[in-house]
Amino acid sequence: MNGLKNPRVIGTLVVLLLLALTPVVFGNENYIMRVVTVGLCSAIAVYGMNIILGFTGQLSLAQGGFFGIGAYAVGLLTTDYDWSFWSAFAAAVVGTAVIGYLSGLIALRTKDEYFAIFTMAIGFIIYLTISRWESVTHAHSGVNNVKFPEGGGILDFSTPTAMFYLVFVVLLVTVYITFAIRRSSVGRTLLTIRTSEDLADAIGVSVGMSKQLAFAASAVLGGVGGAFYATVVGFIGPDAASVDKTFEFLMFILVGGMGTVAGPLVGSMIVTYLFEFFQDFQAYRFIVLGPIIIALVIFAPRGIVGYLGGFVDKRNRKKRVEAARSEANSKSSAPHDTTDASASTHAERTK
Amino acid sequence: MTLFIQQLFNGFALGGVYCLAAIGLTLVFGVLRIPNLAHGSLYMLGAYVTYFFLTTVGVPYVAAIGIAALVLFCLGILLERLVFRPLQNSPHTHHMIAAIGAMFFFQAVAQAIWGADFRRMETPISGSLHILGAEISAQRIVIIVTAVVVLALLTWFIKRSIHGQTIEATEQDRTGAALVGINPSMVAMLTLGLSALLVTIAAGLVAPINLLSPTMGDSLNLKVFAIIILGGLGSLPGAIVGSFVLAIAETMTSTYISSAVGEVIAFVVLVAVLAIKPTGLFSKAVQR
Amino acid sequence: MNSVPRRVGRPILATAVMGVLALTATACGSSGGSDSGDAESVVIGYTGPLSGGGAAYGENVKVGLEMAVDDLNKDGLEVDGKKVTIELKSLDDKYAPSTAASNAQRLADQDKAPVVVSPNAGAIKAIQQINNGRSKFMISAYTSDPAIVQSDNPLTMMIPPNFESYAKPFTEQAMKHGGKKLALMGTQSEYGQQWTKSITDAWKKADGEIGSDNSIDYATVSDFAGPVSKALAEKPDSIFVGGPSQPTALIMEEARKQGFKGSFLVMDQAKLDEMGTVTKLKNLTNAVGVLPVKEYEDPGTQDFLKKFAEKTSKDKVATSETALNYQSMAIIAKAIELAGTTSDPEKIRAAIPDALSKVDDKYKVNGFPTEISDQGHLKNPELEATYLNDDEKFEKFPVEQVSDSK
């Protein structure tokens, strides 16, 4: 499974390359640039969700809230307090890390469905705080004229293309981090936790601390996504922190593929396109979109990337089987690589 | 003091509504082990179908609720058969997204059929009672009484009737239940149908004191989830206690502190309880 | 890979998914250049809540726009010597500002819409970030929040009166028919809270007394009895209410049921006649509010109501959302005609003052504006509001308009 021969790595690279070319093709289409850039911001947050969900199997539904905290940190600090974007951004990272860590302390005591609904409650409390704490957040009036990132005189991030590449680079860093985590000992630890927490505990893996870190990291990425979302859109309202946002993210993950590197990105782009495409149906679009969503999770439970990955696995297995046969020593196909999350996701918690 | 009594009754009425909605949800969780996020939209559809039979067809109020409950019972079965059954071997994340898809669909359909405008459902029950200086409308008393009666019937159904016992058996031990010849997919369908039926009764009772709109289930949805988590997933007594505790906490805090606090209180209580007891008040051994 | 069922259905599904994606890609790619084929039409964009909690409101606005477009196309529109038809393109934003801005961008980019209508202050603020830079288009802004004209966006046209104008006359009327003590029960939306603030100031200025803030979210409260009991426990003479018409009506009905005898101050979002569709008008008497459309005496009002009744179901009441957008669409069309261009929003905006006096009488239905302020606010100097008296009759009283600046 090494380097450039791995079809998964190639696939991921192709997706990234295609995206990198977007401004070349659509540079003058403000609408497409906007939708894609907003999609990338969501993708960053979705990667955050993927850390905790894809690697530990715990579903955090507070991500919309963390996204909102990041967005409001940048929004409020660059307007009411006149900070520069980058210092506000740093504050957003620190803020979500602290809040993420603290809520993780309680949230991680719970498991499975309790964890999911508990984090949903956390997300909802964040949303209610933002939408009701009028003296600080301006509640439903929202925050207007959020600053663009300062380019230090060299770069002008107020153009859609520059902004796109900025967010894109941040996303690349995010993807790299996800990839690196998966390869690192922490990543293996997380995957062990997903397979069996009791086992992990028994063989001496520090379950609590690993989960705690994963949760904080996932919150930070949510905040980073929100921070860039605020500057891309220029105006934010409480809907940036709503529970609907979380479900949107969850949809991105599932459509793209849980626990895969390219999944969240592919999912974000595809679902964003689907939603925009069906705009022409106006009020009736969800009559079509609802069943499509259901069909996707039923028929492609491992997401699009996982689905394509399935072909790769099949081919690999065939190769291995043939190799084994030719050796005329059929001890049969090798068991699966444990790091191969995309393939084993489906079997999760079916026991 | 009058205000306190008044709000206590209002709290009980609200608790009755939460209770009827929460029990179905917790039953579904106990048997199918899925958090059905489409529950709020079943509530909404239940209200609209009741409205349809009451206003457009013109049958009496109680009959309209009854017919609507049967219609929703069938819809619940369909939902299980078409959406949740194919996902029975998937992790619960998939159920959540599928349920959201169903929720989008139901809302859009309701808007396409009945329009986006608020609608009002008239009720034949009018008048009010004076109790200790407080003024309680008859509709709210009906809500409280119905909730109690339905709860009693449900307990009887689950403890005494053969179909109900299959539900309880499956809830307690799925493999064991299957071994003694209980068909788990029948039980799953029955449970989802039952939850849709119960939530329709809740909707039919509340609709006259509120308004119908395609999004009426949204705010109830989150609260009901808070309730069943608070009580312990799958636990009937937990859902009942959780409903009344949260409803009364909600009315009292919005009366004596502020309405904004009243709105978050359900979730604050939830966070506090789970911080101390991570599996809810009345948790049972989690099935693995 | 323990369990991977349904091998058979997958290739079909994969094909289907890919097909949808391909369609999407082509749709996004090709619609950009679609303007060349149909040179005789101009698209007016609309982004509003067409699904979700605000859908009823968004639909009301849309009906007004559609009615106007139908009528205008029947009359025929001539721009620079060519016949042009107006096409209304509506997109759903679910009330989310960022979606509204994406939609507006799409309407301006892909459909070349010179004007985009939006009925929500947050959305308008988000759209104002993008309508006067790389893309240029005019916003026809249906919100009574003056913040949107305070931002000095040169391509914004604000349609309804500034809501702050109502606070003082409403206070006077409510005190006259009620008393000095006010309970606050407005909705928890952005707009509701602005109203609450504005009424609080005016009420205090008139030496009135204000109880605690009982604002509730009309959309999420499932039983209004509790909040009403709480507000009445303060023994108020007047109650400030308001949000969408129907829940507002329920709150007033509940207050009357619980024995409240004083006056109501009704925020302009709620329309007294529309409220009459869910409760008896009797429950709504002794209330101060905005004037129902049917009480206007503009030259086109009666015809408009007739057409509205034909277009919608019988029990629906025409509200100012529909009527004001109906007449403002006629203003936009006239301005396009006078400017002689369907593509230059700056010229269209510049032609609006002229257009106001040239719009056909039949489009004047709901206090037709006679002037537009430098900041882009359409104004009718003779603004009136109403007091619904005990005989269920709408008494009119004049409203003096305040300045839009901060």
Question: In the structure, what pLDDT confidence band is assigned to residue A328 with cuts at 50, 70 and 90?
Answer: low
Q: Mean of the per-residue pLDDT values for chain A? A: 80
Asked whether residue B234 carries a pLDDT value surpassing 60, the answer given is yes
**A163 Cα to chain B: minimum distance (Å):** 31
A110 falls within a domain:
yes
pLDDT of amino acid C234: 87
As for how many domains chain C has, the answer is 2
3-state helix, strand, coil in chain A (%, to 5): 75, 0, 20
Chain A residues with beta carbon closer than 8 angstroms to that of B115: none
Judged against a pLDDT cut of 80, whether residue B118 lies above it is answered with: yes
Please give the residue of chain C at the shortest CA–CA distance from A300: C10
CA distance B285 to chain A (A): 13
CATH assignment at residue A159? 1.10.3470
The residue to which tokens 């992990």 are assigned:
A200
With bands split at pLDDT 50, 70 and 90, how would you rate the model's confidence at A93?
A: very high
Q: Are residues A228 and A331 in the same domain?
A: no
Residues A96, A13, single domain; the answer is yes
Whether residue C279 and residue B120 make contact (CB cut-off 8 A), yes or no, is yes
Would the CB atoms of B101 and A293 count as touching at under 8 Å? yes
**Spatial distance between the Cα atoms of B49 and B56, rounded to a whole number of angstroms:** 10
List chains adjacent to chain A, taking adjacency as at least 3 C-beta pairs closer than 8 Å.
Answer: B, C
- Higher pLDDT: B284 or C385? It is C385
A205 and A349 together in one domain = no
Q: Do A209 and A329 sit in the same domain of this protein? A: no
Residue % of chain C over a pLDDT of 70: 90
Per CB distance under 8 Å, which residues of B are interface residues toward C? 3, 6-7, 10-11, 13-14, 17, 89, 107-108, 111, 115-120, 128, 135, 137, 140, 206, 209-211, 213-215, 218-220, 251, 254-255, 258-260, 263
The torsion defined by the Cα of B165, B169, B171 and B173, in degrees rounded to 10, comes to 180
- Mutation for B interface: C222, C256, C275, most B CBs within 10 A: C222
Residues A226 and A320 in one domain: no
- 8 Å CB contact of A237 and C122: yes
Residue A317 has phi, psi (to 5 degrees) of -65, -45
Instruction: Check CB contact of C206 with chain B, cutoff 8 Å.
Output: no
**How wide is the angle at C-alpha A130 spanned by C-alphas A125 and A136, nearest 5°?**
135
CA A312 to chain centre: 23
Residues of A in contact with B111 (CB under 8 A): 283
Pick from B29, B107, B270: which is nearest to A121 by CB? B270
Residues B214-224: tens digit of each pLDDT: 888 888 888 88
Whether residues A23 and A109 share a domain: the answer is: yes
- CATH number of residue C235's parent domain: 3.40.50.2300
Query: Is residue A307 one of the residues assigned to a domain?
Result: no
Which residues in chain C are contacts of A313 at CB distance < 8 A? Answer: 1
Nearest Cβ partner of C219 from B116, B219, B258? B219
Chains in contact with B, where contact requires at least 3 CB pairs less than 8 Å apart:
A, C
Would A153 be classed as within a structural domain?
Answer: yes
Out of A141, A234, A270, name the one closest to residue C129 (CB).
Answer: A234
Q: Whole-angstrom distance between the N-terminal and C-terminal Cα of chain A?
A: 28
Most confident listed range (B249-263, B265-279, C331-345)? C331-345
Residue C88 lies in a domain: yes
Whether residues C107 and C49 share a domain: the answer is: yes
Q: What ipTM does the predicted assembly reach?
A: 0.85
Q: Report the amino acid identity of residue A328.
A: A
Asked if residue C232 and residue C342 are part of one domain, the reply reads: no
Is pLDDT larger for residue C198 or for residue A300? C198
CA angle A60, A63, A68 (to 5 degrees): 160
Scanning C5-34 for CB atoms below 8 A from B yields 5
C-chain CB neighbours of B215 within 8 Å are: 52-53, 55, 219
- CA–centroid distance for A305 within its chain: 14
Mean residue pLDDT across chain C: 85
**Residue C19, min C-alpha distance to chain A (Å):** 12
For residues B270 and B246, give the distance between their C-alpha atoms in angstroms, rounded to a whole number: 9
Q: Tell me: do C187 and C143 sit in the same domain.
A: no
- Structural tokens at position A231: 């500057």
Q: Would the pLDDT of B52 be above 90?
A: yes
Comparing alpha-carbon positions, the chain A residue that sits nearest to C106 is: A31
Residue ending a domain, choose from C285, C315, C333: C285
Nearest chain A residue (CA) to B35: A113
Determine the distance in angstroms separating the CA of B34 from the nearest CA of chain C, rounded to an integer: 19
C36 domain residue, yes or no: yes
What pLDDT sits at residue C114?
A: 93
Residues of chain B with C-beta less than 8 angstroms from the C-beta of C313:
115
**Residue C400 reports pLDDT greater than 90:** no
Same domain, A271 and A325: no
Mutation target vs B (from C185, C188, C223, C232; most B CBs, 10 A cutoff): C223
Cβ-Cβ contacts under 8 Å between A and C: the total is: 138
A222-274 pLDDT, tens digit each? 999 999 999 888 888 888 888 888 888 888 888 888 767 788 888 888 888 88
Interface test with A, best of B36, B97, B254 (most A CBs within 10 A): B97
Bridge partner list, C290: C385
Same domain, C44 and C152: yes
Torsion of CA B21, B25, B30, B31, to 10 degrees: 110
Around Cβ C358, how many Cβ atoms within 10 Å? 12
The reply to whether C281 and C351 lie within a common domain is no
Q: Which residues pair with C136 in a beta bridge?
A: C132
> What average pLDDT does this structure show over B248-273?
84
Within a domain: A306: no
C-alpha A7/C-alpha A244 separation (Å) is 34
In a domain, C145, yes or no: yes
Same domain, A207 and A284: yes
Query: Domain check: are C192 and C255 in the same one?
Result: yes
Burial class of residue B161 in the structure, from the number of CB atoms within 10 Å of its CB (0-12 exposed, 13-18 middle, 19+ buried): exposed
pLDDT of residue C15: 52
Is residue B258 within 8 A of residue C213, CB to CB? The reply is yes
CA angle B18, B19, B22 (to 5 degrees): 80
pLDDT at A343 over 50: no
Residue B212, classed as helix, strand or coil, is: strand
- pLDDT at position A63, please? 92
Cβ pair C294, C366 in contact under 8 A: no
| pLDDT of the residue at B183 | 84
Poorest-pLDDT segment among B26-40, B51-65, B259-273? B259-273
A339 and A244 together in one domain: no
C275 and C190 in a single domain? The answer is: yes
Same domain, C20 and C157: yes
Nearest to B77 by CA among B203, B187, B212, B214: B187
Kindly determine whether residue B263 and residue C220, on different chains, have CB atoms separated by under 8 Å. yes
| A351 pLDDT above the threshold of 60 | no
Q: Within this chain, do residues C24 and C47 fall inside the same structural domain, yes or no?
A: yes
Looking at the domain assignment, is residue A235 inside a domain? Answer: yes
* Same domain, yes or no: A221 and A345: no
Domain range for C23: 14-163+300-379
Which pLDDT does position A344 carry in this prediction?
A: 40
Q: Is residue A288 part of a domain?
A: yes
Chain A hits for C97, Cβ within 8 Å: 142, 233, 235-237, 239
Which candidate from A112, A121, A132 shows the least CB-CB separation from B226? A121
A321 and A296, same domain (yes or no): no
- Which chains, if any, share at least 3 CB pairs under 8 A with chain C? A, B
- Min Cα distance B197 → chain A (Å) is 23
Residues C218 and C319 in one domain: no
**Local structure of A118: helix, strand or coil:** helix
- Residue in C20, C23, C135 closest to A30 by CB: C135
Q: How many domains does chain A have?
A: 2
Structural domain contains residue A102? yes
**Residue, of C29 and B139, whose pLDDT is higher:** B139
In a domain? residue C271: yes
Does residue C272 sit in the same domain as residue C310? no
**C324 in a structural domain:** yes
* Chain C residues whose beta carbon lies within 8 Å of the beta carbon of residue A292: 20
Domain range for A77 is 2-301
Task: Please state the rounded mean pLDDT for residues A34-45.
Answer: 89
pLDDT score recorded for residue C179: 84
Residues A270 and A327 in one domain: no
Cβ contact, residue pair C3, B89, below 8 Å: yes
Identify the residue among C128, C190, C198 best suited for mutation to test binding to A, counting A beta carbons within 10 A and taking the highest: C190
**Sequence-distant (≥ 6) Cβ neighbours of residue C127 within 8 angstroms:** C47, C100, C101, C104, C116, C118, C139
User: Measured between beta carbons, which residues in chain C are less than 8 angstroms from residue A310?
Assistant: 4
Residue A86 resides in a domain: yes
Closest-approach residue (CA) in chain C for B143: C223
- Decide if C6 is inside a domain: no
C283 φ/ψ angles, rounded to the nearest 5 degrees = -70, -15
Asked whether residue C171 is domain-assigned, the answer is no
Nearest CA in chain C to A255: C17
Contact residues, chain C, for A130 at CB < 8 Å? none
Of B211, B258, B260, the CB nearest to C250: B211
Whether C157 and C215 map to the same domain: the answer is no
Q: What is the pTM of this model?
A: 0.84
What gap in Å lies between CA C25 and CA C301, rounded to an integer? 46
The Cα C333–Cα C67 span in angstroms is 13
Q: Does residue C113 belong to any structural domain of this protein?
A: yes
pLDDT tens readout for residues C28-73? 444 444 444 445 889 999 999 988 878 888 999 999 999 999 999 9
A335/chain B closest Cα distance in angstroms: 21
Report the pLDDT value the prediction gives residue B47, as an integer from 0 to 100. 94
